[in-house]
Structure 1
């Protein structure tokens, strides 16, 4: 390609034609039960990692440590699943006889631990209501169910024969009717902070539209109802949105009136779509890969944008999110100073990085 093409980046070819963009970081504290549950989860995660270090198993436990880090990141969004997240720190041996198919169950639990590290092969996002097939492949329950209904009964990965009776899920989490967290809908602090910022923006920039990006598919579910209750017109773009519906949603967003918010999973919003109708971007979590973040931002801040763009990062104070931001900055400075990382290294998070994120040097 080098012989027949010229590479010009956006910054070089569109200087003077692009509207400005401003990046703001909004830091806020969590209190009460949220703080208590987060702190307990972090303490237990550190305890598990220290035990791995003491027993010489650290280098063989990358997936488990990454899983613990991802759970802490999710706890910054919503601490309600605290009990199930705490159980996920337990070694798989503790779950051995919980199913008629312990080998399948162990593999499923391992995949769920990695969460952000593993994508459903159908929707290309972390699995929602994950199920495992008899041939040991993991999908979203809805994705594989729809696939088996539309196509011949075979696994999308190995093409082995497959039916609904060959799908298995982890045992349901125990429910305690006395647990007030499950009987009352409490809006997490991060969601209420987002709503407050959106309302303030609506007062200051009444004709603006917003895009909210999140890494986690489950966060879209958590966001939709509170945003609608707050009076916003909400559109949703997620991993289960097929290509035709995706085009329709984007067109609807482009033509929608003020007070419209598009909530989107970053993995289906990173390339190939135009969201220039929006002028405000809210990033609910800091990302491992700053390039992926920039790619999502460029769906709004690109040629054709008629307004200045405001980008807002939401960060929980005294949490793993602040440490992720520091890790991003260190890596960015290393790349600028030494050019020492290729694309693969920029995407990956090392074992040393994970221990640093848990404040374990």
Structure 2
């Protein structure tokens, strides 16, 4: 029995993870390029499936493997690191694209050239970002003084999300206020019926987990304006991942229960009925948010659509088209709204492009990919990172532009590998567009720590001493430190 994309079972509590354990087979294999993405716990499900004793038992794994990585100090001993490396070395046949066999490459691939395209905000954007950062910092410091950072973990992630959006385009961070107003209306009759029909144990579980609202698919923050809940099981997802699931598997990744579009609730509606105090705290804070006059006027101009990142993107596209007329380009962003903004200058420049995101049907997405492959005039594809980082073969393109920074470097690497894979005949050029002196600098630091954990466990590099769970208080404090610190 062979599991392809075996990182799909990384959640030990998911039904799919439990189900594959009970399948009958003599031999078992797992295939994955990302054995661990976020935390050491993700190693357990493959061990359980492969029946590697004694660590296929959670009690043994938890005590001998997980516990040393969960110390409050955040430090991991050399003994613990060596134990994990020895275990992984014994169970894994690990190969990298760059490895040689008898002096020859295992896989013959063109070169991958990655450039970090560092940009500075213009004056207006810098003023806007600084205002948003100071407000987010003040909110975080309030939680810190009260000793409630982890209790308000979801709210802290939302603050970070807004700063990440600011780096792309100011309007992404301010549209949220309009969403709050729109969502604050009366719950429609259908949602009332769905809410009344939620099982009591499911309601209580969602309320209890409200402090840890992260999308289990993309690990991004969920707030009441961008969260969806499946009525019968109560599992929560961000809007985009929910749309992706509804157009693909139609199954909840947690419990494998059926997902039906007319039985999906907004998190706002749920909180309004069952936990209004949690909703009130966030809305009161958002109600106090006022964008300074200069930025407000800037965003109200109908003809203003650009940003530093969009200008950097257009520059990259023009340079590519001038020097390599046949090259095709993949543009990734985790924010669908940002892809909307990018479309405007592409149209003005007459650049023929297609789009691929979770709001599109499977058929429409397939047609977009086919058009990119077969139509010489279609030079570019806009892809939502959450939707298109896996399962796509886009070797027809050899230029990849990452418009924003993702928490998890494995997701970015998977996105790049849509082009840099077997079948690619050209060198692949990657541009990572980042903003200097912003939250993106600090996320890049965290990416390095995550990569150290993954590389260290696989024996491909230095392990690093950082424990790998959700962001610690110390890491959050570094993210919210003063810009010039």
Compute the TM-score of the two structures, normalised by the length of structure 1: 0.75
Q: Are positions 1:206 and 2:317 aligned together?
A: no
Q: Which position in structure 1 is the counterpart of 2:61?
A: none
Q: In the TM superposition, what are the counterparts of 1:1-361 in structure 2 within 5 Å?
A: 8-12=95-99, 15=106, 17-83=108-174, 100=186, 117-118=214-215, 140=239, 179-186=297-304, 187-257=306-376, 260-333=379-452, 335=456, 336-338=461-463, 345=468, 348-359=470-481
Q: How many residues align?
A: 333
The CA distance in 1 between the partners of 2:376 and 2:162, in whole Å, is: 37
Contact 1:137/1:157 (8 A) holds in 2: no
String of CA shifts for 1:279-319, please: whole Å, max 9, x gaps.
11001112111111111111100011010010000011111
Instruction: Name the SS of the counterpart of 2:429 in structure 1.
Output: strand
Relative distance call for 1:4 and 1:251 in structure 2 (3 A) is same
Relative distance call for 1:215 and 1:126 in structure 2 (3 A) is farther
Relative distance call for 1:275 and 1:55 in structure 2 (3 A) is same
Question: Displacement, 1:138?
Answer: 6.5
Relative distance call for 1:133 and 1:38 in structure 2 (3 A) is same
Compute the TM-score of the two structures, normalised by the length of structure 2: 0.57
The CA distance in 2 between the partners of 1:4 and 1:79, in whole Å, is: 50
Unmatched 5+ stretches in structure 1: none
String of CA shifts for 1:34-67, please: whole Å, max 9, x gaps.
1111100001111111111111212212111111
- Which portions of structure 1, spanning 4 or more consecutive aligned residues, are displaced by more than 3 angstroms? 1-16, 81-88, 98-101, 124-141, 156-171, 330-335, 339-342, 348-351
String of CA shifts for 1:100-139, please: whole Å, max 9, x gaps.
56x99xx99x99x96xx43799xx9989976778887777
Relative distance call for 1:42 and 1:165 in structure 2 (3 A) is closer
Question: Displacement, 1:31?
Answer: 1.7
Instruction: Name the SS of the counterpart of 2:462 in structure 1.
Output: helix
String of CA shifts for 1:303-352, please: whole Å, max 9, x gaps.
1101001000001111111111122224434643237789xx37x43343
The CA distance in 1 between the partners of 2:260 and 2:398, in whole Å, is: 48
The CA distance in 1 between the partners of 2:98 and 2:172, in whole Å, is: 43
The CA distance in 2 between the partners of 1:161 and 1:258, in whole Å, is: 38
